[in-house]
Every structure is written in structure tokens, then in C-alpha cells.
Amino acid sequence: MLKYQHIAAEIEKYIQEHALQQGDKLPVLDELMVQFGVSKSTIIKSLELLEERGVIFQVRGSGIFVRRHGRKGYISLLKNQGFTRDLDHFPITSQVLELSVGKPTREAAANLNISTEQDVYYVKRVRYIYEQTLCVEESYYNKAIVTYLNNEIVSDSIFDYIREGLGLKIGFSDSYLHVGKLEEEEAGHLGLNKGDPKLEVETIFHLANGQPFDFSRITYNYIQSQFFIQANGHGM
Amino acid sequence: MLKYQHIAAEIEKYIQEHALQQGDKLPVLDELMVQFGVSKSTIIKSLELLEERGVIFQVRGSGIFVRRHGRKGYISLLKNQGFTRDLDHFPITSQVLELSVGKPTREAAANLNISTEQDVYYVKRVRYIYEQTLCVEESYYNKAIVTYLNNEIVSDSIFDYIREGLGLKIGFSDSYLHVGKLEEEEAGHLGLNKGDPKLEVETIFHLANGQPFDFSRITYNYIQSQFFIQANGHGM
């Protein structure tokens, strides 16, 4: 982690610990420099990062302000490590339905940018929040990259293992969302009825070097899940 | 628009015009400096912005690469001007169901950070893509900020008018997504059946100075709409 990223994390922690709310003003630049003991250019980079991440907004000539959605229990669609972090205060558990090595479907191979002859780990699990079903997840991991998985790992956080156990640097993800109706099998896993609404999210996760390593499809229980997205002005 | 933002837009245009694909390599830093006639620090800032926006990814010691989702017709959930730009090649039209001045609901007032005694413009419209219903939209605009709207404006792009007609600087947005079942009235507008799935997106749009000016609720036709999100590694 680079220095400005570390300072950004410190500022975010400061905001949380002081329970600052949307619109609350942060100390001015000079004070932040002193408070965190870093140069002006580092603080500026940290603030730019926090602005991109939707933690603060800066108003020229006016100051630095906290940006903070006020709704609890929402899953961020921008943090691509899954929802464990957003739902920090909620107990998330997993039931592994399948863990196997085999050949990918044509669709998975295309999304992982490999041939259908290469091996993948296939993981299917149901995830629970407060003992309610949150989602059903199917994932294909390129075995040439994610070289090892076992039942213990996939019962817990696979991404923590990929980062810490395998030492891989996770980069970015592309997600595709569709709303539809539950098939009978999905409905069974989620404890809902066939034909009930579903949100399906397909994601391709890439390493920092751009290689796709995981193609996953998550089907959410529409009653248990709600999502938020913070956007900034760049797209406008 | 600052210089590095302008150059970022130029680089994005270059990627589009050359139809570059996911993983394609961009010229090296020195070449980009010459090509766009700017300093190294400007190019670096432009590239950082493009990385945050999910247009490129940089691999240290290796180069700058294009990041480009390959699916057409998906609506970005990160560009908060609405979907007009994502669906550039698709004809979007609007049917205005209501345009009126009045008092906000308690919920709209809370989200706009005003009292229920202050005036708002209320706009309800159905939006179409290829003559299929894309969504029903209800919006509350704080009249103290968005001082004027008429039928012609709301039949077209309200945000273009806010930026260009009123000269306001749009900043950032917070969106909340829920999946549920269509009520009878919504289903009627969308040409679907009561109980069919729906994606509902509530968004609070803020000016660059942090003031909320628009609270909207969009209910999407689940058959016509699909969405994408690009995330980078910062949340991980």
C-alpha cells in the first residue's frame, strides 16, 4: 500500500471513529498535513482518492466535506471483494454445495479468457445472513492462477485466501446485472418460490495485471438484499 | 474542465475511435506526452482519472492497457446523468405523465434535506427504448435550486437543461437498489403484469457544492434493462 493510500485509510478511519455525517466539514489541508505528519502533495493525493471512492467531496474555496450514505445494511456494488466488508456487523455464513475441479462451461471459459480444455475450480455455495439465505453463488476459478482450494477455504472468504494465502494482487472487476424470475432449483436454495423476482450479478474478477481469474454468478434473495452505489461527477 | 480532465476525455475518444479492446496496450507515457502535447504530470493525472473511471488499467513495469466491457446495451450504474449516454445508439423517448409544483412527500423532503413546506417540481414520466417501456421515473426537484421546468424540458434531458440552461454544476449521487414485485399501477405503465419482478433505484443527486437537488425513484422494466458496473481495487 502506498503512503497516500495508507493516509486515505487513516482519514476514513478518523471519519468513522468520530461518527462524522454527510456534510460535516473536515479539518483544512494544513491541519490534515500536521495531523497525519505528511507532505501537502501526499494529503492532496489521499483526498483525491477518497473523493473517487465517495468518502468525501471537496468544494473549491469552501472545504472538504464528509460524504456518507445514511442507510445501514446495504451492500455496496462497488467493493468487489464481495459483501463481507459492507455487512461487517452482520454474521455471514456459507454452505458449500459443491467444490470440484473440471472443465469450464463455454460461457465461463470465454469470460475467463481460457479454452474449455483448461481446468477450473467450480464452487457452488449458499450464503446466509442471520440464518436467512442471502444468495446462491456459482464461481469458476482459473486453476492456473488459483492453484488450490479446499472445503475449509471455500466455507470462509475465498478472496482473503487468494490475497493472503496465494499472495495474488486482485485488481478490478466488471459486473453485469439482470433482474428476472427464479428457476425452481434457485428458489429451493433461497427458500423462495419459483417465479419470484431475482437479482443476478455476473462478475469477472481480474488480477492487478489484468488477467481474469474468477467468473461468478450470484443470485440474490430479493427480500434479504439491498444495494447502494455512490457515483461521482466524472461520468457526467 | 481542468486540463487533465480534458486530456483524459481525449484519450478515451482515442480508444473509442481506434476501437481498442480489453487488454490492448496504449502508447507509453512519453509517446502520450508528445501525442497530446502536455507535461508528464498532466498525463499521469489523466491516466489516474481514467483508471478510476474504469477505462484503463496500469501494470507497473508493463504498460497501460484498455479496459473495456464487451457487452452492448447495458446501462452503467455509475454514470449518474441517467442512461442517455450509455444507450447512445438507442433511441430514448419520454412520455410525461405529470409535471407540477407542490410540496414534497416526507420521504422526498428528507432526502432533499428540505422541509415539507418548501416547493418542489414533481415529474413523472415513462421512458421508452425502441418503443418498448424502459422505466417509470418519479422525481422531486428542489425548486429553490431548479427554479424552472416546463413540459418541453422534461420531455427531453432534464440534466442537460440543469447544466446548460441553469448553469448548475452537478456533483455526485447516491443510489439505493431494491428488487421487488410490481404494483398494479407500475405494471400498467410498463406493460407488464402485477407481481412481475422490478428493479427500483432511488437516487439522490447533489450539486458539486454538496446540496441535494433531485430525489428520484426509477422502476425498470426487467425485460428491457440490464446494467453494468466497473469496480477497481480500492474497496479491497
- Tell me which chain A residues have a C-beta less than 8 angstroms from the C-beta of B229: 77-78, 174-175, 177, 229
Contact B179 A222 (CB under 8 A): yes
End-to-end CA distance of chain A: 30
Instruction: For residues A75 and A175, give the distance between their C-alpha atoms in angstroms, rounded to a whole number.
Output: 14
Convert the pLDDT of each residue in A30-75 to its tens digit. 999 999 999 999 999 999 888 877 788 888 888 999 987 666 677 7
Residue A90 is predicted with a pLDDT of 66
Residue B85 is predicted with a pLDDT of 46
Cell numbers for A35: 495531523
- Please tell me which of the candidates A80, A198, A234 has its beta carbon nearest to residue B53: A234
Contact A230 B85 (CB under 8 A): no
Inform me whether the pLDDT recorded for B78 exceeds 80: no
Instruction: For residues B57 and B63, give the distance between their C-alpha atoms in angstroms, rounded to a whole number.
Output: 9
Residue of B nearest to A57 (CA): B210
Residue B69 is predicted with a pLDDT of 64
pLDDT band at B88 (very low <50, low <70, confident <90, very high): low
Average pLDDT, chain A: 87
Residue A101 is predicted with a pLDDT of 98
Instruction: For residues A91 and A190, give the distance between their C-alpha atoms in angstroms, rounded to a whole number.
Output: 17
- Tell me which chain B residues have a C-beta less than 8 angstroms from the C-beta of A232: 80, 171-172
How many Å lie between the alpha carbon of A64 and the closest alpha carbon of chain B? 10
- Tell me which chain B residues have a C-beta less than 8 angstroms from the C-beta of A235: 53, 76, 78-81, 85
pLDDT band at B84 (very low <50, low <70, confident <90, very high): very low
ipTM of the prediction greater than 0.90, yes or no: no
Inform me whether the pLDDT recorded for A232 exceeds 50: yes
Instruction: For residues A155 and A181, give the distance between their C-alpha atoms in angstroms, rounded to a whole number.
Output: 27
Least confident among A92-106, A136-150, B48-62: B48-62
Closest to B135 measured CA to CA, from B28, B224, B233:
B224
Average pLDDT, chain B: 87
Inform me whether the pLDDT recorded for B80 exceeds 60: no
Residue of B nearest to A71 (CA): B176
Cα A141 to Cα A108, A158, A182, B95, B158: the distances in Å are 9, 10, 25, 46, 44
Domains, in order of start, for chain B: 3-66 (1.10.10.10), 75-228 (3.40.1410.10)
B146 in Cβ contact with B166 (< 8 Å): yes
Describe the crossing of helices A40-52 and A3-17 by its angle, rounded to 10 degrees: 60
Inform me whether the pLDDT recorded for A132 exceeds 60: yes
- Tell me which chain B residues have a C-beta less than 8 angstroms from the C-beta of A74: 176
Query: What's the rounded mean pLDDT across residues B134-145?
Result: 96
Contact A232 B179 (CB under 8 A): no
Contact A172 B54 (CB under 8 A): yes
Instruction: For residues B52 and A234, give the distance between their C-alpha atoms in angstroms, rounded to a whole number.
Output: 10
Alpha helix ranges (H) inside chain B: 3-17, 29-36, 40-52, 106-112, 151-155, 158-160, 184-190
How many Å lie between the alpha carbon of B170 and the closest alpha carbon of chain A? 7
Query: What's the rounded mean pLDDT across residues B176-182?
Result: 93
Residue A98 is predicted with a pLDDT of 97
Residue A84 is predicted with a pLDDT of 42
Residue A230 is predicted with a pLDDT of 77
Cell numbers for B10: 481525449
- Please tell me which of the candidates A57, A79, A178 has its beta carbon nearest to residue B235: A79
Element (H, E) at A161: none
Inform me whether the pLDDT recorded for B159 exceeds 60: yes
Closest to B173 measured CA to CA, from A83, A67, A14:
A67
Query: What's the rounded mean pLDDT across residues B209-219?
Result: 94
Residue of A nearest to B178 (CA): A226
Contact A235 B81 (CB under 8 A): yes
Contact A172 B71 (CB under 8 A): no
Residue B48 is predicted with a pLDDT of 87
- Please tell me which of the candidates A67, A198, A231 has its beta carbon nearest to residue B79: A231
Cell numbers for A6: 495508507
Instruction: For residues B220 and B225, give the distance between their C-alpha atoms in angstroms, rounded to a whole number.
Output: 7
pLDDT band at A229 (very low <50, low <70, confident <90, very high): confident
- Tell me which chain B residues have a C-beta less than 8 angstroms from the C-beta of A170: 233, 236
Query: What's the rounded mean pLDDT across residues B29-35?
Result: 92
Inform me whether the pLDDT recorded for A199 exceeds 80: yes
Residue B82 is predicted with a pLDDT of 45
Contact B225 A179 (CB under 8 A): yes
Query: What's the rounded mean pLDDT across residues B43-58?
Result: 87
- Tell me which chain A residues have a C-beta less than 8 angstroms from the C-beta of B227: 176-178
Contact B180 A222 (CB under 8 A): yes
CB atoms within 10 A of CB B10: 15
Contact B59 A208 (CB under 8 A): yes
Residue A64 is predicted with a pLDDT of 93
Inform me whether the pLDDT recorded for B141 exceeds 90: yes
DSSP at B25: B
Least confident among A10-19, A171-180, B68-77: B68-77
Query: Considering chain A, what percentage of its residues have pLDDT values greater than 90?
Result: 57
- Tell me which chain A residues have a C-beta less than 8 angstroms from the C-beta of B49: 234
Convert the pLDDT of each residue in A77-124 to its tens digit. 766 444 444 555 567 789 999 999 999 999 999 999 999 999 999 999
